[in-house]
Structures are given as C-alpha cells and as structure tokens.
Amino acid sequence: MIKTLNSQRLTLKPLDLSYCTEEYVSWLNNPEVNKYLETGGNYKISDLKDYLQAVVKNEGMLFWAIHLKDTYQHIGNIKIDPINKKHGLGEYGIMMGESTQWGKGYAKEASQALIDHCFIDLKIRKITLGVVDINIAAVALYKKLGFEIEGLYKRHGVYDGVFADMIRMALFNTQYEY
C-alpha cells in the first residue's frame, strides 16, 4: 500500500484512476511539459486510462500525484519505478505538468519528500535517474538535492531537434555503509 506523503506546501497522494482527466492529458500533450520526457504527445483520455490502470495494478511502482495543500490543485506527478529490492535501488521520475506552478520550488519539495520516504521508510540505499543534459533546470535541481553524476550516454536522444547527452545520476542513502 502506497502511503500519502506530506511536505510543508504539498501533499503527495497515490496515483489512481481518479486522475484520468482532460487536464492530465493536456499536460502530456503540451510540448513545453513533455519536451524532455520519454513519453508525451498525441495522448487521448483512453490512453491515459489504460496507463493508469496499469499503474494501479503494478505493485512495484510507487507513483504519486503532487497536490498543493492550500488549494488541492494537482500540479504534477512523481514516482520511483522500477524498484530493485535485491540491490536496494529505485529509479526516480517527475513531471511538473501545471506550468503556472513552475519556478516555485515545488519540484524540489516533492522530490525531497519522496527521497526521505525512500531512504527512511523503505530503506532504499540508492536512487537513480536519467536527465537530458540540455534540461539545465532539472540538472540544477538534482544537484541541489545531492545527486551525483555517475555516467554519461553521449548523443543519446534527440530533444528540441538536437542530439543531447543523457546524464545518469545517483543519490546514496548515507545510512548504509558501502
């Protein structure tokens, strides 16, 4: 069972079928939102419904909707997927869909709540992620959160019409000895 997480300004609620909305679909189809995501564009409500049904059935995926506490507005999603229990690893991902809420520190706050939950409650020892090098804001965010660069995939994909490198980053749970 995925628990609800709280931070100062946010509530992270487990993602379920109630989030199958036109607003969510509009985020997936918004070129500014999905510019650096591996998925996005040409989504229909039926595609989102199929995806959310798969999310609900996948017990290994931890996926939350990010809400503002004061208005309960759904502004994005955050997840750890997949989780490798044998090695204590989790892969992080975030989408801040509501562009009117960008630049207010919500991605950092949601990420820190997720990291704390993974390290303290779930005893995950290492969180990893991939980020496109030209996504300067995301790279800066991950560095502020303490992620370190572990590797680089050269000319890994085409974003904004140009080849971009994929940076692999990791954050270690300091409660573990390595």
Per-residue pLDDT reduced to its tens digit, 61-86: 899 999 999 999 999 999 999 899 89
Sheet holding 89-96, edge to edge: 5-6, 10-14, 62-68, 74-84, 89-96, 126-132, 162-172, 148-159
- Answer yes or no: are the C-beta atoms of 167 and 131 closer than 8 Å: yes
- In this prediction the pTM is 0.93
In the chain, where does DSSP find H-type helix?
22-29, 31-34, 45-57, 106-116, 136-144
Query: What single string gives the DSSP state of each residue in 55-101?
Result: HHH-TT-EEEEEEETTT--EEEEEEEEEEETTTTEEEEEEEE--GGG
Helix (H, G, I), strand (E, B) or coil at 19: helix
Domain boundaries, the chain: 5-124
Right CATH number for 5-124 from 3.90.79.10, 3.40.630.30, 3.40.50.300, 3.40.50.720? 3.40.630.30
Tens of pLDDT, residues 94-145: 999 999 999 999 999 999 999 999 999 999 999 999 999 999 999 999 999 9
